[in-house]
Each structure stands twice: as C-alpha cells, then as structure tokens.
Amino acid sequence: MPDSGIHINIRETINSGQVFLWENYDDRWFVVDGHDIIIANQTPFEVLTFSKRSKNFFRQDDNYGKILKEITKDKIVKKSAIHYPGLRITRQDPFQCCISFIISSNSNIPNIRMRLQKLCRKFGTKVRFQKRDFFLFPEPKRLADATVQELNECKLGYRSKYVLDASRTIASGEIDLEELKKMKYDQAKELLLEISGIGDKVADCIMLFSLEKLDAFPLDTWTLKILQKYYSDIFCIDKKTISKKRYEDVHQKIIERFGKYAGYSQQFLYKMERDLNEKKWL
DNA sequence: TACTAACCTGTACG
DNA sequence: ACGTACAGGTTAG
C-alpha cells in the first residue's frame, strides 16, 4: 500500500538531523542527494528528481502504518509519534551519507552543513534545475583523487584524512556500499568499521539512512541522554559515552525493546528531545 | 577491556 | 572585544 502525502511531513523529516544539504524555496524543498536533486512539495504532495528517475527518498514504499503500530507499543515513542505525524526516515545516497556522518563527528548540524556545501562547491558538478543553480555531491572517485590540503580548504579539520580514506576505499571498490544493502546489520557494520573515521555511531547512521538497515539505532550523546532520562529502568547508562563492547550490548537490548524498526523509534525520540532542548536544525 | 586526552573549526555566550 | 566552551565521535595510548 503506497503512502500518500499525508503520511509524510517533509519539513519535519528534513529538519530531524538526518539530511544536511537542503534548501527551501517558495514552499518547495530541494535536497542534494548524491548525483541527483530531490524536489519535494508538501501540498499537493509531489516528489520529483533532477534525474527524472523515481526514487523513494522519503521511503514512500515503507508500510508506515505497520511501522508506527509496531514502534508505538512504547509509550514515549508513541508520544513523539503523535507530536510529529509524518516524520520519516530518508533513503539517501550511500556515499554522500557516509561522508556526511564522518564529517559530523564532534561537531554540530550547522557546521556539518557548511562543510558539505564547501565540498560540493569545490568538487561537485554545477547544474541548473528549476531556474536555480545547485552543486551536486562529488562522486567517490573525485574525492579519492583530492588531496588532504584541498579537503582542508573545506574546513573538515582532522576529518580530512578520514574522508580521503573512505573515498578511496569506496572508489576502488574495496567496499561496495550497494552490496552492503543486501547484507544483514552485523555484516554490513563490520565492513563499515574498517574505514577509519567510522565508529559505531557513524556506521549506524550510514546504515539507517542509506543502507536499508531499519534496525540500526545510532547511540550518540542525545540518544544516550534519552535512554538515561526515560529508560533508566531498562538501560543502565551513566556516562555520556559508552565503550565498544557496551555499545553492542545496548544495541541488542534496544532491538528487544523497540523491535526491528528501532531506527524509526530513534528518529522520533531524537527529534523530540532535540526540539525539547531547542537545538538548531540549520 | 575500560578509560582518557587530543582533535579542527565555527559559533554562541560571558 | 576576546577568551572559553561546546558540538549527532573516533582514534591512539
């Protein structure tokens, strides 16, 4: 059963920390997604692409009703789901998603966005679409051929070498992100963790937002805070960070608690807690 | 295995 | 104005 627009809130979905390269003009949303641009209109609901290929960027093909029914068994998630109807997980270009979250480490959303924009302007292709100019996200090969010096000009800081490493690993085919889509969570994660700059949290973001792993539940400062605040009876989290071993243990418990669509639960909880603390989405 | 410090950079706040 | 703290973490020791 395909989703109609009423089950997709474009504004809230884009403003939930999963996608960074977007612009809002005249009530329409433009999202740079790899070598393509998504244009989304809320009412009447319509999603088009620059490439003219059909893409379910908002995961319109998910059975949203079924997923909601599953994840709202949890009262806190239910509260958030009522407050944010139509909040979705996006299906992003894997390479862009990968670089986006490598860049996100120890940083904030406006800063991540700025760096990605600089990467696009410096290495991406300029295109004209709907009477506006856009820079597409650079291909893996283009970034693999860049120098640390050039990447530093995009203000990546110490992350420049990570971006280079990841781009080379992917451009060479050593790791094929499309192949990871077909794998189970554990197997895909193991491969992602081989790339320097990708730890547990970043790997989970990449898998949830671009590799079809709805059971991925990124554990960052916010979600850990959420587990402490609302689920102290189930999860014994005392610090701001957790060790690798603990991360795996907690993820296992997360699946037991929230089910196979735990990633969706995470998005609702994350959105709610960030808004509660009046954090910026841009 | 668990724990810490160091890390680039822009922005917010005093 | 100018210093300091902090941000969707990861790595090295």
Is residue A148's beta carbon less than 7 angstroms from any atom in nucleic acid strand B? no
Higher pLDDT, A209 or A237: A209
Whether the ω angle into residue A94 lies within 30 degrees of 0, i.e. cis, is no
Task: Indicate whether A223 pLDDT > 80.
Answer: yes
Task: Indicate whether A124 pLDDT > 90.
Answer: yes
Please report the domains of chain A, with CATH numbers, ordered by start residue: 64-83+214-282 (1.10.1670)
Task: Indicate whether A3 pLDDT > 80.
Answer: no
Band of residue A178 on the pLDDT scale cut at 50, 70, 90: very high
Q: Identify which of A94, A268, A244, A92 has the alpha carbon closest to the alpha carbon of residue A169.
A: A94
What's the whole-number mean pLDDT along residues A97-115? 98
Task: Indicate whether A120 pLDDT > 70.
Answer: yes
Q: Report pLDDT for A5.
A: 64
Nucleotides in chain C with any atom closer than 7 Å to protein CB: 7-12
Answer for the pair A216, A208: CB distance below 8 angstroms, yes or no.
yes
**A106 CA → B13 C1’, Å:** 19
Backbone angles phi, psi at A134, to 5 degrees: -135, 150
Residue A67 burial class via C-beta count within 10 angstroms: exposed 0-12, middle 13-18, buried 19 and up: buried
Q: Report pLDDT for A4.
A: 57
d(CA A218, CA A251): 9
pTM listed for this prediction: 0.97
Backbone angles phi, psi at A168, to 5 degrees: -70, -40
Nucleotides in chain B with any atom closer than 7 Å to protein CB: 1-4, 7-11
Q: Nearest nucleotide (C1') to the CA of residue A114?
A: B10
Distances (CA, A) of A50 to A29, A32, A34, A40, A170: 13, 10, 11, 11, 24
CB atoms within 10 A of CB A123: 20
Band of residue A45 on the pLDDT scale cut at 50, 70, 90: very high
A236-279 pLDDT per residue, tens:
888 888 999 999 999 999 999 999 999 999 999 999 999 999 89
